[in-house]
């Protein structure tokens, strides 16, 4: 009963809109939901995870085009040893760029915290003086 849902439920579970789902399908970011006889599309629950991952990567500052270039690394495991090694290389490269970005943001956070601390200490001194 948890198997396969329509676009409305998928969108809701992934906290996006149906429009966004269709837009991503049109960009090849998301496989098209399969039709069952009628004209409507049905999606497997794992697509929720894929959508969430796409949103995560967007928050890292990747464009949808860039996301399209890496999203498969997360969700399709390649058949064949050769392909697996290739994908591993790409995953490492991807991890490196993500590390870079997160590192910069972490630094911004640390600078902000340092600023807050300086501020607090200044006020501490005033209270004693």
Partner DNA sequence: GCTAACGTTGACGTTTACGTCATGTTTATG
Partner DNA sequence: CATAAACATGACGTAAACGTCAACGTTAGC
Applying CB under 7 A, the residues found at the interface with DNA are: 6-9, 16-20, 22-23, 33, 36-41, 58, 63-65
> How many residues in the shown chain lie near a copy of itself by CB under 8 A?
33
Minimum distance from residue 12 beta carbon to DNA (Å): 9
Give ∠ CA 69-72-75 in degrees, rounded to 5.
Answer: 155
Residue that the structure tokens 């396969």 belong to: 4
Q: Which stretch binds a copy of itself (CB under 8 A): 7-15, 20-28, 31-39, 94-102?
A: 94-102
In whole angstroms, how close is the CB of 37 to DNA at the nearest point?
6
Which of 69/89 has CB closer to DNA? 69
Cβ closest to a copy of itself, residue 8 vs residue 88: 88
CA nearest neighbour of 47 among 78, 67, 71: 71
Is 70 buried (19+), middle (13-18) or exposed (0-12) by CB count in 10 A?
middle
- Rounded CA gap, 64 and 61, in Å? 9
């Amino acid at each position: 009963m948890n198997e396969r849902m329509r676009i409305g439920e998928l969108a809701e579970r992934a906290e996006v809109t149906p429009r966004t789902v269709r837009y991503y399908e049109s960009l090849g970011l998301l496989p098209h939901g399969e039709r069952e006889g009628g004209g409507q599309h049905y999606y497997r629950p794992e697509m929720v995870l894929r959508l969430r991952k796409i949103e995560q990567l967007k928050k890292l500052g990747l464009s949808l085009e860039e996301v399209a270039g890496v999203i498969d690394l997360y969700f399709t495991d390649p058949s064949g040893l050769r392909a697996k090694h290739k994908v591993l290389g790409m995953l490492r490269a991807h991890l490196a760029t993500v590390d870079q970005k997160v590192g910069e943001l972490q630094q911004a956070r640390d600078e902000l915290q340092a600023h807050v601390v300086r501020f607090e200490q200044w006020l501490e001194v005033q209270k004693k003086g």
